[in-house]
Chain A
Amino acid sequence: MSFFFEVLLGGLLAGVMYSLIAIGFVLIYKASGVFNFAQGSMVLFAALTFVSLLERSVPFWGAFVFTLLIMLVLAWAIERFVLRQLVNRPPITLFMATLGLSYIIEGLAQAVWGAQVHGLDLGVSDEPFELGGMLLSQFDLFAAAVAGTLVVLLSLLFNKTRTGIALRAVADDQLAALAVGIRLHRLWLIVWAVAGVVGLVAGLLWGARLGVQFSLSLIVLKALPVLIIGGFTSIGGAIVGGLIIGASEKLAEVFIGPIIGGGIENWFPYVLAMLFLLVRPAGLFGERAIERV
């Protein structure tokens, strides 16, 4: 039984890392109705910039702040040169634009920093330690704590600040938001910047785990099932979705895997997501239209 909990807990902690990726999508989707395919490239771009600065012996926090600034500039450029040109276009146009953007960002990152694989050491060891008879990864615990802090900060931003009210207003009704004088461009800039920061944090954690390399941008594919389960519009949903995926894929791997020959971990989340699509298309926490009776 303790083995079961060990697997479960390990899975939940790993799931937090998926949540982190999914949150980046939710932020932008909520504020502009765009599925930002470029989120993965932003993660790669941030991690690559950070690790390259470290390798050029920039100190840790210096590199962090500098990368943060770069992400803000990136957000500004995207708003100015892509989004602003595509105002009032159908969502599919914007989606295609983010698809193109993802290649540009990836190309840019590799043109500047090169295409080799970098190791990233955040100074947190990945050694397991024991807690109540269970072996847990120290790094997973650290990652979960960082992600948790980020989520708390984001929910404060959304629920306690004026910017948060404006962001939620835009998510609800863009025309009405314009009518009360909310400046859409400014808000889009803010969300893309915040998504960039989330991308940076995700990039550092994932980069430390997998190495900083091209395939880092493919973690968007891991975020899809999380979003389908949690819903595209809810940060809480992204968290719960990530936890469900993390826990269930590990449990499936360990307990069902041996029966059918292993390798389940890679496709199980997608099967789970498809089941959810059949039962609950809006996701667990997806916003349904409020209907009065």
Chain B
Amino acid sequence: MSTELSNVPILQLQSIEVVYEKVILAVKDVSLSVAANSIVALLGANGAGKSTTLKAISGLAAAQRGEVVRGRVLYQGDDITQANPAALVQGGLVQVLEGRHCFAHLGVEENLITGALIKRPTASVLKQQLERIYHYFPRLKKLRKNLAGYASGGEQQMVAIGRALMAEPKLVLLDEPSMGLAPLVVEEIFDIIGNLNQQQGVSFLLAEQNASIALKYAHHGYVIENGRVAAHGTTQELKARSDLQALYLGI
């Protein structure tokens, strides 16, 4: 039973097509698969459709008048194409939005707490959860009382990731964690992502423009071009493909 389960990919997209406002075709045909306990990179240029793909999975596209008009999204084998975000978070699938989206007027710790609300934890469980996050992001512990709006870009990214982890997710959709951050901070954040994957078995589907850092930590990669998958493979395979390097990977 357990071996069977672990063979089912935690996430599968089957030829999804996503349309905003009934007319704007943002994703034309994307199929991909994320194995349990793995990190998968979603690469591509500006406007390729990375964020739209993630929002289609998490159910957030609907909040921006977007809709999956074709294809299916499977999470642990179940069809979640029409599921709402709250139900998915409850089930362990959480998205970290591009541009961090911290609650600026809430404290850092309050931001983290919002991530756990859906689970209705007892006070002591909530405290354990917070300690777990502070273990991975020690910097946040010092800032816990500060307003998140005044934290630095890197710290806000940590808040955003920490907040998602508070729901004890199995799969995190991470949209451009490196955006606008200094290289050292980017390394720090990816190290933590790597640790979370190895120590806690959290899977990540991560959209990135910074291909070199993403491929350093990911096991698999997909390259999206104009709303379609242009290439995919293990990170070794992608790195070896000279045709991709100049075009998308910038390595």
A: which residues have CB within 8 A of B?
87-88, 162, 165-166, 168-169, 171-183, 287, 289-290, 292
Could you give, for residues 107-137 of chain B, a 1 whenever the CB lies within 8 Å of some chain A CB and a 0 otherwise? Answer: 0001101110110000000000000000000
Contacts of B97 in A (CB 8 A): 175-176, 179
Please report the total number of B residues contacting A with Cβ < 8 Å.
35
Which one of B58, B63, B103 lies within 8 Å of A88 (CB-CB)? B63
B:138-154 near A, CB below 8 Å? 147, 149-150, 152
Interchain CB contact under 8 A, A177 and B65: no
The answer to whether residues A169 and B60 also contact, given A176-B102, A179-B101 and a CB cut-off of 8 A, is no
Contacts of A175 in B (CB 8 A): 60, 63-64, 97, 101
Q: How far is the CA of A78 from the CA of B2 in the complex (A)?
A: 47
Q: Counting CB contacts under 8 A, is B76 at the interface? A: no
Interchain CB contact under 8 A, A290 and B113: no
Q: How far is the CA of A177 from the CA of B101 in the complex (A)?
A: 9
- Shortest distance between the CB of A287 and any CB in chain B (Å): 7
CB-defined A-B contacts under 8 Å, sample of 19:
A88-B63, A88-B65, A165-B114, A168-B103, A172-B104, A175-B63, A176-B101, A178-B85, A179-B97, A180-B117, A180-B118, A181-B85, A181-B117, A182-B86, A182-B117, A183-B86, A287-B105, A289-B104, A290-B105
Report whether over half of chain A's contact residues are helix, strand or loop; otherwise say mixed.
helix
Contacts of B12 in A (CB 8 A): none
- Shortest distance between the CB of A188 and any CB in chain B (Å): 14
Q: Counting CB contacts under 8 A, is B167 at the interface? A: yes
Interchain CB contact under 8 A, B114 and A169: yes
- Shortest distance between the CB of A72 and any CB in chain B (Å): 22
- Shortest distance between the CB of A167 and any CB in chain B (Å): 11
Other than A88-B64, A181-B86, give 13 A-B pairs with Cβ distance below 8 A. A168-B106, A173-B104, A176-B97, A176-B103, A178-B85, A179-B58, A179-B85, A179-B89, A179-B164, A180-B115, A182-B86, A292-B150, A292-B152
Interchain CB contact under 8 A, A181 and B94: yes
Interchain CB contact under 8 A, A180 and B63: no
Q: Counting CB contacts under 8 A, is B163 at the interface? A: yes
Q: How far is the CA of A179 from the CA of B150 in the complex (A)?
A: 21
The answer to whether residues A166 and B117 also contact, given A176-B97, A290-B149 and a CB cut-off of 8 A, is yes
- Shortest distance between the CB of B238 and any CB in chain A (Å): 29
- Shortest distance between the CB of A223 and any CB in chain B (Å): 23
Contacts of B164 in A (CB 8 A): 179-180
Contacts of B64 in A (CB 8 A): 88, 175
Among B63, B149, B152, residue most surrounded by chain A Cβ atoms (within 10 Å): B63
Interchain CB contact under 8 A, B60 and A172: no
Contacts of B85 in A (CB 8 A): 178-179, 181
Q: How far is the CA of A273 from the CA of B118 in the complex (A)?
A: 41
Contacts of A181 in B (CB 8 A): 85-86, 88-90, 94, 115, 117-118, 167
Q: Counting CB contacts under 8 A, is B38 at the interface? A: no
- Shortest distance between the CB of A112 and any CB in chain B (Å): 36
Q: How far is the CA of A292 from the CA of B146 in the complex (A)?
A: 13
Of all A-B residue pairs in the complex, the 4 with the closest CB atoms, nearest first, are A181-B89, A290-B149, A181-B118, A176-B101
Which one of B60, B65, B113, B167 lies within 8 Å of A165 (CB-CB)? B113
Contacts of A178 in B (CB 8 A): 60, 63, 85-86
